[in-house]
Structure 1
Amino acid sequence: MTNKIMKKERGKRIYLLENNCLQVKVVPSMGGKTISIFHKEKQFELLYDRGGTQLKKSKRGDSFESGEASGFDDAFPCIEEENINFQNHNLCYEDHGEIWTSSMSLENDSLLDTLKLKVQGVHLPYFYEKRITLSEDTVSYHYKITNKGEFEFPCIWAMHCLVRYEDDMKLLYPDQVLEFENVLRSRELGEEGTIHQNMGNNQSELNVRNINYSYTFDKVPSKESKTMLKYYVKSDSKEGFCGYEYPTSGVRCSIRYEKEMLPYLGVWVNAGGYRGEYNCALEPANGYYDSISKALERKKCKILTVGESISFSIHITLNTI
């Protein structure tokens, strides 16, 4: 049986969904951010937490770097901040979108296993609904986004879910991954735009301008590397699946989603290179590249037409291994 309670924690009103297997904590005033997915038997926290006695609430237009930058946020309608002209409309996209700085309204209902949240877009005319449910070892996120305006607009939704880093953790990809594209200059993966062939077991060796890049994509760099990486699985997903294994903790995290709605998969690995922190994020998305303009150039960006609604779900399961 699942229980749903509201309490004050770290300076914010937090809703707790809990059953015999998991505890899930959600903050409506921070864009419906999930700050904890906790496996009770293993005493294992999946999400990255910066710690501290207070959660930092960012305001509209703040940089993501200056904010909490932890847990599970929804990146919508973009990831990268920019202003573009699209079909004679000047459109403003804030850093990591508008949701993470928004205060979401909570719909009152008697369902103990469900939270229903909603918010209206600011710079773009959309209505955003999120329903979070807990069942046994799985927490599910159900989304519906509707264009309520009089013009269509490009948008990216990405699962910005920062998880804990462990030295021996393993990244799990969809089947039949052939290539990875680097989108952030690094010593491990080279220049932005470098393509790495998957040589089997998610290993890649590439020689570009007499510089050899060798990297194992299902592992993470050591803590001593002080690096950060961002890359994409180059092709559309053949399977709506990704996840993590934590051998030391004895936990496997499986993430399942509709590959037709979220056909692209970005990957963020932070081994101390960003703010001196350690976390990872597998990011199913409906846009390829973090920038709206670059995604449009590649014709890999969702255009939300007038009156159109898109609906999709994310299911996060924690199992023991």
Structure 2
Amino acid sequence: MFFWKRQRIEGYERWTGLNSMMQITIAPELGSKVISLKNVRTGREWLAQPDQGYGNGGYASSFAASDGSGWDEIFPTVNGCNYPTFPWQGVELPDHGEVWSLPWQTSAQDGKLRCEVHGIRFPYHLSKTYSFTEEERLRIDYRVRNLSPFPFSFLWAAHPLFRVKEGMEMIVPSELNKIVVSYSQNRRLGEMGDAHFWPNPCMDAGEIRLDRIESEAARTAEKFYFQGELPEGRAALYDPGTKERLTLLFPKEKVPYLSIWANYGGYRNQYHVALEPATGFLDDLSYAMEHGQAAIIKEHGTYHWFLEIEMSLADQA
């Protein structure tokens, strides 16, 4: 059994979905941010929580000034940039895209929760539908419609800021062995575009293990992509202390890239990790388009994909 409940708490509308294994809460007015994702059986909250309440600075505001918590939708870029081609050449894309700072329309029907929003600077309609497909699995079906008579390129990325602790593990397909840096505070991993091996990136930089969660005292913050398209749409966080695992599953044909944002106290004194399936490579849409690594929707066309969240207990990673 599962259900969706609508409430208004602290001035914000919230929708909560619940079954015997999982509980998820979404705030439609805050960019349809997922503000809570819990394992009902263990009581574990998987998402980072804000220090001083939820909120953002409104449309096209700086993402750095938001609450630094939960799970945001990033579309149609990560880094702010200018759209490079006709007919939107020169149009500015806001930091982390448009939709995380816009209110979404939300409704529940037949056991599903539907959230939708229209673009401001670009003619698109983006929707996502949440449904519990199994007791331990939640599915999000995404659909973006291009409302124009011209092809439209975009970069979508999931942005779940997970609560972590030292010693947890990040698990990705075994074939992945190289990363490309998007950002590295104090250049620990170099500059944007630098490539390294995974999970041991720099033989001359000490015992860095990128697949292990570091201490909050590390004071580092890094964003990197796995090089090339994925062999499998899967990534997970595993806690060897509690044997809990959270796995993200997605179609590699539609979501071919994976990045990781690892913030160990180095950025705004926050401590979290994001596993970010993405439709484009590196964080700048204009860069992705230039290198043929952005998703494209044909004129008046649609683009579909999904993301599944699975919670489980495992004897080993």
The 5-angstrom pairing of residues 1-321 of structure 1 reads 1-52=1-52, 54-90=53-89, 91-109=91-109, 111=110, 113-134=111-132, 135-186=134-185, 187-198=187-198, 202-206=199-203, 212=205, 214-321=207-314
CA gap 1:154/1:213 in 2 versus in 1, 3 angstroms:
farther
Which letter maps to 2:224? Y
Could you tell me how far apart the structure 2 residues matched to 1:120 and 1:11 are?
23
TM-score by length of 1: 0.92
Post-superposition Cα deviations, 1:242-262, rounded to whole Å, max 9, x if no partner, equal 010012333100110000101
Could you give the per-residue CA deviations for residues 23-74 of structure 1, whole angstroms, max 9, x where no partner exists?
110111112111111011111011111143x421431110101112311111
Asked if the contact 1:189/1:215 (under 8 Å) is kept, the reply is no
Seen in structure 2, the aligned counterparts of structure 1 residues 108 and 265 have a Cα distance that, compared at 3 Å, is closer
Q: Quote the Cα distance in structure 1 between the aligned partners of 2:83 and 2:128.
A: 27
> Displacement, 1:174?
1.9
1:144/1:88 CA distance change after superposition, 3 Å: closer
Task: Provide the rounded CA distance (Å) in 2 between the counterparts of 1:23 and 1:240.
Answer: 23
Q: Which residue identity is paired with 2:295?
A: K
Alignment check: 8 A CA contact 2:4 2:108 kept = no
For 2:236, give the aligned amino acid.
Answer: G
Q: How far off its partner does 1:84 sit?
A: 3.2
| Identity across matched positions, percent | 26
**Pair 259,124 (structure 1): closer, same or farther in 2 beyond 3 Å:** same
C-alpha deviation, 1:79, in angstroms: 0.5
- Preserved CA contact (<8 Å) 2:17 2:25: yes
Query: Could you tell me how far apart the structure 2 residues matched to 1:36 and 1:176 are?
Result: 32
Aligned equivalents of 1:37 and 1:56: distance in 2? 18
* Alignment-mate amino acid for residue 66 of structure 2: G
Unaligned runs of 5+ in 2: none
CA distance in 2, matches of 1:212, 1:165: 24
Structure 1 distance, partners of 2:202, 2:267, is: 25
Distance 1:55 1:214, change over 3 A: same
C-alpha separation in 1, matches of 2:292 and 2:312: 37
Q: Offset at 1:14? A: 0.5
Quick check: 2:15–2:26 contact (8 Å CA) kept in 1? yes
Normalization by structure 2: what TM-score? 0.93
The whole-number CA distance in structure 1 between the counterparts of 2:83 and 2:8 is 40
SS at match of 1:100: helix
Contact 1:172 1:243 in 2 (8 A): yes
CA gap of 1:46–1:212, structure 2 versus 1, over 3 A, is closer
Structure-1 separation of matches of 2:8 and 2:115: 18
Residues 250-294 of structure 1: CA deviation (Å, up to 9, x unaligned): 310011000010101111000001110001001110110100121
Write the distance in 2 (CA, Å) between the matches of 1:19 and 1:58: 33
SS of equivalent to 2:83? strand
Q: Is contact 1:78-1:155 (8 Å) kept?
A: yes
Question: How many pairs does the alignment contain?
Answer: 311
SS at match of 1:293: helix
CA distance in 2, matches of 1:142, 1:173: 22
Q: 1:205 & 1:235 partners in 2: Cα distance?
A: 20
Distance 1:96 1:269 in 2: 17
Aligned mates of 1:303, 1:140 — CA distance in 2: 23
Measure the CA separation in 2 of the matches of 1:88 and 1:120.
18
Contact 1:36 1:45 in 2 (8 A): yes
Quote the RMSD (CA, aligned, Å).
1.7
Q: CA deviation at 1:108?
A: 4.8
SS of 1:229's equivalent? strand
Confirm or deny: 8 A CA contact 1:204 1:214 kept in the other structure.
no
